[in-house]
Amino acid sequence: ELETSFMEYAMSVIVSRALPESRDGLKPVHRRVLYGAYTSGLTHDKPYRKSAQIVGHVMGKYHPHGDSAIYETMVRMAQPFSLRYMLIDGHGNFGSIDGDSAAAMRYTEARLSKISAEMLRNIDKDTVDFVDNYDASEQEPVV
Which pLDDT value is given to residue 64?
Answer: 84
The DSSP H or E segment spanning 132 is strand 129-132
**pLDDT string in tens for the chain (143-residue length):** 788 888 888 887 777 667 788 888 899 999 999 999 999 999 999 999 999 999 999 999 998 888 999 999 999 999 999 999 999 999 999 999 999 999 999 999 999 999 999 999 999 998 899 999 999 999 999 98
Query: d(Cα 7, Cα 14) in Å, to the nearest integer?
Result: 10
Choose, from 9, 85, 107, 134, the residue flagged as catalytic.
Answer: 107
Annotated active-site residue 48? The verdict is no
Enumerate the domain spans of the chain: 25-117
3-state SS, 65-77, equals CCHHHHHHHHHHH
Which pLDDT value is given to residue 16?
Answer: 67
Which pLDDT value is given to residue 91?
Answer: 98
Task: Give buried/exposed letters for 70-94 (b at 16+ CB in 10 A, else e).
Answer: bbbbbbbbbbeeeeeebbbbbebeb
Q: What is this structure's pTM? A: 0.87
Which pLDDT value is given to residue 44?
Answer: 96
For residue 112, the cross-strand partners are 88
Which pLDDT value is given to residue 21?
Answer: 82
Query: d(Cα 140, Cα 142) in Å, to the nearest integer?
Result: 7
